[in-house]
Amino acid sequence: MTSYRTGPDATGLFGQFGGQYVAETLMPLIHDLAAEYEKAKTDPAFLEELAYFQRDYVGRPSPLYFAERLTEHCGGAKIYLKREELNHTGAHKINNCIGQILLARRMGKQRIIAETGAGMHGVATATVAARFGLQCVIYMGTTDIDRQQANVFRMKLLGAEVIPVTAGTGTLKDAMNEALRDWVTNVETTFYLIGTVAGPHPYPAMVRDFQAVIGKETREQLMEKEGRLPDSLVACIGGGSNAMGLFHPFLDDASVKIVGVEAAGHGIETGKHAASLNGGVPGVLHGNRTFLLQDEDGQIIDAHSISAGLDYPGIGPEHAWLHDIGRVEYTSITDHEALAAFHQCCRLEGIIPALESSHALAEAFKRAPTLPKDHLMVINLSGRGDKDMQTVMHHMQEQKESVV
């Protein structure tokens, strides 16, 4: 049997996607990083330290929760929620941050930089930098700063410097450009803690490995509860780290249907969306070859999504490959659909989900009613929605006004 879990190859490629498309200044460092990570991932001391922090600092394992009322409401598949929102800092982002900060320390780096969209990765990075006493600089687009004030304040409380990025539309892509510029300038001292399964090799594989704890736990937990594997998995995708983390341990289980959910924004047909697979074509950006939102001239088009964390015109290269070979189905959910699912989850389960995760919920709610009652579905509840209060309030206000 061919395995879907062996990628990338030595050059960082998943099929035709991935690679190391970066400026020469960064190449030696990226090779160092790849070598250091190769050593670390089989070093018992590193793995033990990682497990310790995952357990006692992050709070793992996160529960796999049977969402009884959502299941009743949908009237079909049995729905489980993987509760990544219960992690320290409120999302799956910390899984990766803990791994990378331990690596940064091994490499003797004193300064940590990161990009952030919704601010969850920024907060998680600032958190681990504080814990390990390292200097921390976070790049964040001005549009995102406006819609995620609370997270900006959190990062500052944790001792990070938050640098506003005005270029472009002031969202995640622009923050990533600026972080790359910082890295190229401070390459000797600085560790770039990328928050998703994108960027040059080894980041897509490394971030996936740190996030794969989600899928590994899910496997064990469902075995314990149901005595078998899930029938389907659903997760939202911006860059795609929470999805990759859940999916990867199941890729070779042919019976498991896997669904990734992109952000359709106002609708893919409007052009205002963030669905790189469903509305983009292959290209090269931020160190990797992947599907991108771009125009006829290869200029990158700004993404749109109500959720800042999905507002990115690319997607991790491993997802691009899984899409290409058809192992994972990639669908999309609009802002409206995500908001509706957000409200349902709040009312029915007493869980306020992140708007990002609400995209996965919305897709699951479409599918669950059509499936038999013994179908086991796992939704990755990748983050909590506390950060989204302003956005949701604003949207409810707008709706009220448009009704009047």
Partner 1 sequence: MSRLQTRFAELKEQNRAALVTFVTAGDPGYDASLAILKGLPKAGADVIELGMPFTDPMADGPSIQLANIRALAAKQDLVKTLRMVREFRQDDQSTPLVLMGYFNPIHKYGVPRFIADAKEAGVDGLIVVDLPPEHNVDLCEPAQAAGLDFIRLTTPTTDDKRLPKVLNGSSGFVYYVSVAGVTGANAATLEHVEQAVARLRRHTELPVCIGFGIRTPEHAASVARLADGVVVGSALVDRIAKAETPGQAVEDVLGLCRELAEGVRAAR
Q: Which residues are catalytic?
A: 93, 115, 382
Closer to partner 1 at the Cβ: 159 or 283? Answer: 283
Interface pick for partner 1 out of 9, 23, 52, 390 (rule CB under 8 A): 23
Say whether residue 26 binds partner 1 (CB under 8 A).
yes
User: Nearest distance from residue 239's CB to partner 1, in Å?
Assistant: 15
User: Nearest distance from residue 243's CB to partner 1, in Å?
Assistant: 24
Interface pick for partner 1 out of 1, 44, 45, 188 (rule CB under 8 A): 188
Interface pick for partner 1 out of 15, 21, 105, 229 (rule CB under 8 A): 21
Interface pick for partner 1 out of 27, 35, 47, 396 (rule CB under 8 A): 27
| Helices marked H in 67-140 | 68-74, 93-106, 120-132
Task: Give all strands of the β-sheet with 190-192 in edge-to-edge order.
Answer: 161-165, 135-141, 111-116, 190-192
User: Nearest distance from residue 264's CB to partner 1, in Å?
Assistant: 22
Using the contact rule CB under 8 A, the part of the chain among 135-143, 247-255, 282-290, 327-335 near partner 1 is 282-290
Say whether residue 271 binds partner 1 (CB under 8 A).
no
Rounded to whole angstroms, the maximal C-alpha distance in the chain is 63
Say whether residue 122 binds partner 1 (CB under 8 A).
no
Helix/strand/coil for 93: helix
Say whether residue 2 binds partner 1 (CB under 8 A).
no
Token look-up 């013994």 returns 374
User: Nearest distance from residue 182's CB to partner 1, in Å?
Assistant: 9
Q: Give Cα separations from 33 to 95, 174, 206 (angstroms).
A: 18, 24, 10
Q: Please tell me what DSSP assigns to residue 301.
A: P
133, two tokens: 């006493």
User: Nearest distance from residue 300's CB to partner 1, in Å?
Assistant: 5
Helix/strand/coil for 366: helix
Q: Give Cα separations from 44 to 40, 41, 51, 156 (angstroms).
A: 8, 8, 10, 34
Asked whether the bond before 8 is cis by omega within 30 degrees of 0, the reply is yes
What number of other Cβ atoms are within 10 A of residue 359's Cβ? 37
Which of 286, 285, 268 is closest to 277 using CA atoms?
A: 268
Count of residues in contact with partner 1, rule CB under 8 A = 37
What is the number of H-type helices and E-type strands within the chain?
16, 14
Closer to partner 1 at the Cβ: 180 or 381? Answer: 180
Closer to partner 1 at the Cβ: 271 or 298? Answer: 298
Closer to partner 1 at the Cβ: 128 or 194? Answer: 194
User: Nearest distance from residue 291's CB to partner 1, in Å?
Assistant: 12
Interface pick for partner 1 out of 298, 370, 396, 399 (rule CB under 8 A): 298
Interface pick for partner 1 out of 137, 206, 235, 285 (rule CB under 8 A): 285
Strands of 250-301, DSSP E:
257-265, 281-285, 287-292
Dihedral sign for Cα atoms in the order 102, 103, 107, 109: negative
Which of 380, 56, 48 is closest to 218 using CA atoms?
A: 380
Closer to partner 1 at the Cβ: 81 or 140? Answer: 140
Interface pick for partner 1 out of 2, 11, 42, 402 (rule CB under 8 A): 11
For binding to partner 1 (CB under 8 A), which residues are involved? 11, 19-29, 167-168, 173, 177, 180-181, 184-188, 281-287, 292, 294, 296-300
